[in-house]
Amino acid sequence: MAEPFLSLGARERADILRTISARSRRSAVILEKDIWVCWVLEALFSVASEVLLEFGGRNVIDPNERHEIVPDIAALIPDLDWPAATVTVLSPKRTFWEKATLIHVACHRRQLANKPDRLSRHWFDLACLAAHSVGRAALANRELLADVVRHKKVFFHTANANYDHCLDGRLRLVPDDDQLPALRTDYDAMRNARIVADDAPGFDALIERIRILEADANRPG
């Protein structure tokens, strides 16, 4: 039986993380965080079935999917036993439109120049989803977009959100030019902190992907 990683001594765990960090070109901090997240999920999703977890009315749980969650490092060191969990999660197709409409609101609010504080992660996430088959499927599902808009108009309504524009060909994903420098600074800081992978696109390439996505999303379905 494989020895559990979390049963190893602190020095041995640190040595493994440093070695894999060099091999995978990913931060040891991110790799360790990944392990602990899986450990927490394993603990949460192995509780007795009669335990009731209650969520607020704003949360949406459909459409959902079941996935096994394991640390990325597990594929590189298969001889150790890693925490894992099978969880029910919101479908990434809905996440695609949740991200897109969040960005749409941020573009209309025009407050990105006031220290975005890692908001650029939403543009990065959306570009990654769009490049995946999940994103392409979401883009074709305009009924799901309409459902996201209905929900946000009820629970996240603000005067400058302009949610209806998301449905009539005026979805905004690219901020105004005067808002881009602050977003660039925020994104570059995330890259330097290795919050995103080393092969993440530069800011200009990222915005160009988003610009193309905006055009695709605004074409009549």
Question: Where do the domains of the chain lie?
Answer: 3-89, 93-217
**According to the model, what pLDDT value does residue 158 have?**
83
The pLDDT, as a whole number, for residue 62 is 80
For residue 67, the number of C-alpha atoms closer than 13 Å in the C-beta half-sphere is 11
CA dihedral sign of residues 81, 86, 90, 93: positive
- In the prediction, which pLDDT does 218 show? 96
Contact between residue 187 and residue 120 where contact means Cβ atoms under 8 Å apart: yes
Name the burial class of residue 27, with classes exposed (0-12), middle (13-18) and buried (19+) by CB atoms within 10 angstroms of its CB. Answer: middle
Q: Assign residue 194 a region (left: φ > 0; alpha: ψ between -120 and 50; beta: otherwise).
A: left
Given the structure tokens 């969990």, which residue do they identify? 85
Distance CA 71, CA 26 (A): 13
Residues (pLDDT < 70) of the chain are: 1-2, 47-59, 221
pLDDT given at position 51: 46
At 155, list the tokens: 């629970």
Which residue type occupies 23?
A: R
d(CA 72, CA 20): 10
At 50 the pLDDT is 47
Cα separation, 81 vs 66, whole angstroms:
22
| CA–CA separation, 138 and 162 (whole Å) | 21
Closest CA to 187 of 208, 201, 172, 167: 201
Alpha-carbon distance of 106 to 171, in angstroms, equals 12
d(CA 193, CA 170): 34
